[in-house]
Amino acid sequence: MDKDNLEGLIRRALDVRLKAYAPYSGYLVGAALMTSTGKIYTGVNIENAAYPDGICAERVAVFKAVSEGELHFDAVVVATANGGSPCGSCRQVLAEFGLDTRVYLVDQTGALALATTVAELLPGAFRPEHLGK
């Protein structure tokens, strides 16, 4: 990914992060997902008083993209206060659509905390080919 595209994705993740609904944890997360067609989908974490019913920013972005027919992703930027990493559920959802997807974790200033791939975040991922159709 070239520098301009990455900077644009970082800016989108930082901007959308401010729309997160996190009244319980106060931990705002924004995600910006770029598809192989160049479209960008954003997501935020959304908490709920019934704690298990919340959803992470990464999955919101993926589900938005999939609902629009996008199934191939190039990169995702996840913006948190401290450059935190995606949870296991988000890693699994990202793995469904490609282990080569690049993952960039940034803090609230946009500083890069980690550049990696889904495969590196989730070694031994359970994938569709494991289902023995």
Token pair of 35 as six digits: 């598809």
Mean of the pLDDT values across residues 107-125?
98
Other C-beta atoms closer than 10 Å to the C-beta of 131 total 7
Among the options 7, 47, 58, 70, which is catalytic? Answer: 58
Task: Specify whether the CB–CB gap between 73 and 35 falls below 8 A.
Answer: yes
Nearest to 57 by CA among 41, 71, 69, 73: 41
Report percent pLDDT > 90 for the chain: 95
Position with higher pLDDT, 63 vs 132: 63
* Whole-number pLDDT of residue 96: 96
Per-residue pLDDT of 37-95, as tens digits, reads 999 999 999 999 999 999 999 999 999 999 999 999 999 999 999 999 999 999 999 99
* Whole-number pLDDT of residue 107: 98
* Whole-number pLDDT of residue 133: 67
Instruction: Tell me the HSE value of 73 on the side-chain side, using a 13 A CA sphere.
Output: 31
* Whole-number pLDDT of residue 132: 80
Domains and CATH numbers, the chain: 3-131 (3.40.140.10)
* Whole-number pLDDT of residue 1: 87
Active site residue 120: no
d(CA 41, CA 12): 9
DSSP string, 113-133: EEEEEHHHHSTT---GGGG--
- Residue type (1 letter), 52: P
d(CA 106, CA 77): 7
